[in-house]
Amino acid sequence: EIVLTQSPGTLSLSPGERATLSCRASQSVSSSYLAWYQQKPGQAPRLLIYGASSRATGIPDRFSGSGSGTDFTLTISRLEPEDFAVYYCQQYGSSPSFGQGTKVEIK
């Protein structure tokens, strides 16, 4: 099973700042089969990015994904108030697995 480790655990930032979230895999993720999700309290996860860098339908272009192999990054270029949430990465190159999440909180 591929284990995903996200860092940092918590990111304290102000609206308008840039957020950089990391997801590291225990082994190479084939064909960049990596997705990112946003989850707010009491809600289901929402797909942001798939294929490591493709934005899902309706996702603002301030969200971008990059990376390959074992190292992936989600960048939020300028944080909006609605972006403060928990973010999860997921690999689907083998039996799907998720990272433990990064909480982006208001500083």
Partner 1 sequence: QVQLVQSGAEVKKPGASVKVSCKASGYTFTSYAMHWVRQAPGQRLEWMGWINAGNGNTKYSQKFQGRVTITRDTSASTAYMELSSLRSEDTAVYYCARAPPIVVVPADRSWFDPWGQGTLVTVSS
Q: Which residues bind partner 1 (CB under 8 A)?
A: 33, 35, 37, 43-47, 50-51, 56, 88, 90, 92-93, 95-101
Other beta carbons within 10 angstroms of residue 86's beta carbon come to 18
CB-CB contact of 70 with 28 (8 Å): yes
Identity of the residue numbered 75: T
- Nearest approach in angstroms of CB 39 to partner 1 is 9
Is the CB of 17 or the CB of 70 nearer to partner 1?
A: 70
Is the CB of 51 or the CB of 60 nearer to partner 1?
A: 51
CB-CB contact of 105 with 84 (8 Å): yes
Is the CB of 17 or the CB of 55 nearer to partner 1?
A: 55
- Nearest approach in angstroms of CB 95 to partner 1 is 6
- Nearest approach in angstroms of CB 14 to partner 1 is 27
Contacts for 38 with CB less than 8 Å, ≥ 6 apart: 45, 46, 48, 83, 85, 86, 87
Is the CB of 62 or the CB of 93 nearer to partner 1?
A: 93
- Nearest approach in angstroms of CB 84 to partner 1 is 19
Which of 19, 21, 23 lies closest to 80, judged by CA? 19
